[in-house]
Amino acid sequence: MPDQIATFYETYASYKAYHPPVIGKKQIRRFDAEIWRPAACTPEMAFLELGCGTGAFLAYLAAKGVTRRIGIDHDPALAAVLPEAVREDFRCGDLLTLLADPALGPFDRIVMLDVLEHFSATTARDLLRMARQRLAPGGMLVLKVPNAGCPWGLSYQFGDLTHRTAFSAPAMRQLADAAGFTAEIRPQVQGSPRRRLTDALVHHFLSWALLTPPEVWTANFYAILTPRPESRPPG
C-alpha cells in the first residue's frame, strides 16, 4: 500500500466516525431488494463479506437466519463497534492474505460492498481471482461500487482519499472478465417513491438529450459476478 494511502487509513476510524449499525425493517427491505433476491440467497447458504466495516450486512444476515457467516476487515478498531450478535464472526487482517488460506472456504456468496474502489485495478483483479477460489459450486460474488460512469457517482468516488480506482459499468465488466467471471450490472435505486419517479424522468430525458449517456445513472451500482465454467479452479 503506498505511504500516502496508508496515512489516510490511520485516521479512517475518526473520519468515518464508527458507530454500531442499526438494522431495522427499512434496512432489511433495502438489503432484500438489492442483494438477497437478486443473488438468489437463502438462509442455508454460507456467506463471506470482505470489507465488512461496522457489520451492517453481517447483522442483516443474522436477522435473515443465516448462521454460516464471516466478515473480514483490516481495521482492528471495528471489533468494538460490530453488533454483539455478529462480533464472533469478525476476522481482522489483510483480505488477500486471509483469502489465500484454503481453510477459509467454501462460501455460497461472497459480498464486497464499497470495497473494490480502495484497490488498484490489478489488485482488484487478483482479489476477485482469489475470492473465486473460495466459492462453492454455484457460488456468486456480489459487489457494490460508486458509479464513475455518471456525474452522480463522483461525490462517492472522490469523497474518500483512500479510493484508488473508479469503475463504470463497462470497466466492471472488463475487470470481471479478467478475473474469470461474467457480470450482471444492476443500479442501486434509493429514495422515496417520489424521488425515484423524479430520477427516472430526469434520467429518461438526459438519455434522450445527451449524445453519449451513461449505461447506469444511479450514483452506485451492484455487480453480480458468476464464474465462467472454464475459469473455475480445479478441486
Q: How far apart are CA 112 and CA 232, in angstroms?
A: 20
Average pLDDT, the chain: 91
Would you say residue 140 lies in a domain?
A: yes
With a cut of 80, say whether residue 4 has pLDDT above it: no
Would you say residue 67 lies in a domain?
A: yes
Q: Could you tell me the pTM of the whole model?
A: 0.91
Cell representation of residue 69: 457467516
Would you say residue 18 lies in a domain?
A: yes
The pLDDT of residue 6 is 64
The pLDDT of residue 13 is 79
Considering its fold, how many domains does the chain have in total? 1
Are residues 132 and 143 in contact, defined by beta-carbon separation less than 8 angstroms?
no
Q: What CATH code is carried by the domain that includes residue 33? A: 3.40.50.150
Would you say residue 60 lies in a domain?
A: yes
Would you say residue 148 lies in a domain?
A: yes
What pLDDT digit, counting tens, does each position of 73-104 carry?
Answer: 999 989 999 999 999 999 999 999 999 998 88
With a cut of 90, say whether residue 118 has pLDDT above it: yes
Cell representation of residue 134: 473460495
Q: How far apart are CA 232 and CA 217, in angstroms?
A: 32
Would you say residue 114 lies in a domain?
A: yes
Domain containing 90 equals: 3-230
What pLDDT digit, counting tens, does each position of 183-209 carry?
Answer: 999 999 988 889 989 999 999 999 999
Q: Give the pLDDT band of residue 3 (cuts 50, 70, 90).
A: very low
| Mean pLDDT calculated for residue range 167-190 | 96
User: Amino acid identity, residue 82?
Assistant: L
Would you say residue 235 lies in a domain?
A: no
Would you say residue 13 lies in a domain?
A: yes
